[in-house]
Amino acid sequence: MELEEYLKYDATGLAELVARGDVKPAELLALARERAEAVDPALNAIVRTFDGVADERAASELTGPFAGVPFLIKDLQQEYRGFPSTEGSRSLAGEVAAEHSLLVQRLLDAGLVIFGQTNTPEFGSKGVTESEFWGPARNPWNTAHTPGGSSGGSGAAVAAGIVPAAGANDGGGSIRIPAACNGLVGLKASRGLSPYGPRVGEVMFGMVTQGVVSRTVRDSAALYDAVIGPNSRAAYRAALPERPFAEHIRREPGTLRIGYSTASAITANPHPEAIAAVASAAELLTGLGHEVDEVRPPYDDKRLAEDFLTIWFASLYREILAIKERTGARDRDFEADTLAVGEIARCNGVGKLMAAIDHINDYTRDLAAFHDRYDYFLTPTLATPPLPIGTLTTPKWQQSGSRVLHRLHGGRVMRATGILDTLIEQNLGWVPYTQLANLTGRPAISVPLHWTAAGLPLGVQFVGRPGADGDLLQLAAQLEQARPWAHRHPAPVVHRTAEV
């Protein structure tokens, strides 16, 4: 197989070739590495490779639905035994995983040949992938722009054709944001459906879910089929789908009621391209026979943003303390922004955190009432096209001040300066739509239906009822058939053509 042919296949198609004996796993691994060598110096998507281990695996007898297909995992909560999982932080550079994470083990059981880890921001804490430790990952559609975050390295690697799908996870949009930035499919699964463990049962009160980004809906469906399932160490068991997703997406979804909105109290004026993306999706859905209405957002997104960041900051603060205790890391081993939000969380105390957690009940009730009338809530995935690299970089003087205030326990000073409002505006202002699904535990998917006039992808998001994961994939499959996207490739992968 030649590289140009490799780029035409999704993971399901490559697995079929291996199963027929048309190509060997070692050949596919070599092609994935060849593509990485050609494009990754410009993208910085891959931060670590498992060369010897991957070669041995590719040469062995592999079984499973994706036997022999090359794959990458995220350098965050997707541990591979014998290698570090740094979570984008210098503080974890010396810690080696003692065992595979449950997700990684299930990916291996599916036959995938995992040969490296992808770039992520420190602790996955931003919607862009620009850690000080690994450096910025770049968008293959335009390397001056971000591939999103926190699964930005995975998104860039898939869009650039290194692999047809890659590991990702989502605590506030970290699957859907890179999917939208890179022209990919990104499903955030229902709470508890995709596996965490064995080291931890769930992250951030179940707000974080494991998953993938992929070029095709059928790959996402089949990969989730491969990894979801009972986990004896979990605190609870999520209801499993009645039929495999890969089978479900072959059925028509029927007539759906969909409410859409582009409004946000955080972002008063979403970019015209974001509005156009939703308008175009609404028109397409109407043409497919669905009932589509413009609606008011069914929740208070300004308060939700504050509550989300309160919970997120508290989780980061706990992460800092745990790493210091476990590894002996010092403040200098963490980024200034991480220390700053940790100090804000320390100052907030338990009362503010518990209030934020209590408010989740309100958002869940409001969204449930919306779903009494509508099957899905449609929004832009992003309020603006992918940001230029460095847009969210904190100025050096502010980083220095944050370190000083952290050392002096100056959280109250930080709060008095209005830093929380600034962080909401900067970090969530361009992605105000994605946190709802994490707080409420609902499934949500980003689908690549729109490209901007400048040639950058800009996805749209659908939020569904609990357990509607398969139905979301089913709708995405219908949209993919009506407006295909897998044939689109960014310039670093193939030469730009008139249809891109």
154 in active site: no
pLDDT one-digit tens code per residue, 151-163: 999 999 999 999 9
pLDDT one-digit tens code per residue, 71-114: 999 999 999 999 999 999 999 999 999 999 999 999 999 999 99
In a domain, 495, yes or no: no
In a domain, 117, yes or no: yes
In a domain, 381, yes or no: no
Which of these, 284, 289, 297, 286, lies nearest to 460 by C-alpha position?
284
Same domain, 127 and 157: yes
Helix (H, G, I), strand (E, B) or coil at 168: strand
Question: Considering the entire predicted model, what is its pTM?
Answer: 0.96
Mean pLDDT of 399-421: 74
Sign of the CA dihedral with 333 first, then 428, 223, and 360 last: positive
End-to-end alpha-carbon separation of the chain, Å?
Answer: 25
Q: Comparing 201 with 8, which gets the higher pLDDT?
A: 8
For 59, the token pair is 């040469």
pLDDT one-digit tens code per residue, 219-233: 999 999 999 998 887
Which pLDDT score is estimated for 494? 47
> What percent of the chain stands above pLDDT 90?
85
Same domain, 76 and 119: yes
Same domain, 152 and 168: yes
Which pLDDT score is estimated for 453? 96
pLDDT one-digit tens code per residue, 466-477: 999 999 999 999
Question: 418, exposed or middle or buried, with CB in 10 Å at 0-12, 13-18, 19+?
Answer: exposed
Residue 353's CB: how many other CB atoms inside 10 A? 18
Are the C-beta atoms of residues 146 and 361 closer than 8 Å to each other?
A: no
**Active-site residue, selected from the candidate residues 74, 126, 188, 352:** 74
158 vs 186: CA distance, rounded Å: 12
Which pLDDT score is estimated for 407? 82
350 vs 267: CA distance, rounded Å: 29
Which residues, in sequence order, are CB contacts of 350 under 8 Å at separation 6+? none
pLDDT one-digit tens code per residue, 232-271: 878 888 889 999 999 999 999 999 999 999 999 989 899 9
Same domain, 48 and 196: yes
Number of domains in the chain: 2
Same domain, 63 and 142: yes
Which of these, 78, 108, 110, 61, lies nearest to 225 by C-alpha position?
110
499: confidence class by pLDDT, cuts 50, 70, 90: very low
101 in active site: no
381 vs 181: CA distance, rounded Å: 9
Same domain, 252 and 327: no
In a domain, 104, yes or no: yes
The domain that holds 17 is classified in CATH as: 3.90.1300.10
Residue 495 pLDDT > 50: no
**Residue 357 is part of which domain span?**
301-364+387-428
Which of these, 103, 219, 100, lies nearest to 163 by C-alpha position?
219
Sign of the CA dihedral with 33 first, then 37, 43, and 47 last: positive
In a domain, 490, yes or no: no
Angle between helices 469-482 and 217-227 (to 10 degrees): 160
**Active-site residue, selected from the candidate residues 91, 174, 190, 194:** 174
Q: Comparing 307 with 398, which gets the higher pLDDT?
A: 307
Q: What are residue 144's phi and psi, to 5 degrees? A: -80, -10
Which pLDDT score is estimated for 74? 98
Mean pLDDT of 173-198: 96
Which pLDDT score is estimated for 199? 81
Which pLDDT score is estimated for 418? 66
**Active-site residue, selected from the candidate residues 91, 150, 190, 194:** 150
216 vs 12: CA distance, rounded Å: 9
- The DSSP annotation for 403-451 comes to HHHHHTT-HHHHHHTTHHHHHIIIIITT-TTSHHHHHHT--EEEE---B
Same domain, 135 and 55: yes
Which pLDDT score is estimated for 498? 34
227 vs 475: CA distance, rounded Å: 21
174 in active site: yes
For 93, the token pair is 């550079």
Which of these, 340, 316, 314, 315, lies nearest to 394 by C-alpha position?
340
In a domain, 52, yes or no: yes
Q: Which amino acid would we find at residue 175?
A: I
Strands 376-380 and 460-463: antiparallel
Mean pLDDT of 336-345: 91
Which of these, 220, 111, 290, lies nearest to 486 by C-alpha position?
220
Strands 113-118 and 70-74: parallel
Same domain, 180 and 36: yes
Residue 137 pLDDT > 60: yes
Same domain, 19 and 154: yes
Which pLDDT score is estimated for 493? 61
Count CA within 13 A, CB hemisphere, residue 286: 11
Q: What is the mean pLDDT of the chain?
A: 94
In a domain, 371, yes or no: no
> What percent of the chain stands above pLDDT 70?
97
Same domain, 186 and 324: no
Same domain, 65 and 53: yes
Are the C-beta atoms of residues 74 and 117 closer than 8 Å to each other?
A: yes
Residue 343 pLDDT > 60: yes
In a domain, 491, yes or no: no
Same domain, 57 and 183: yes
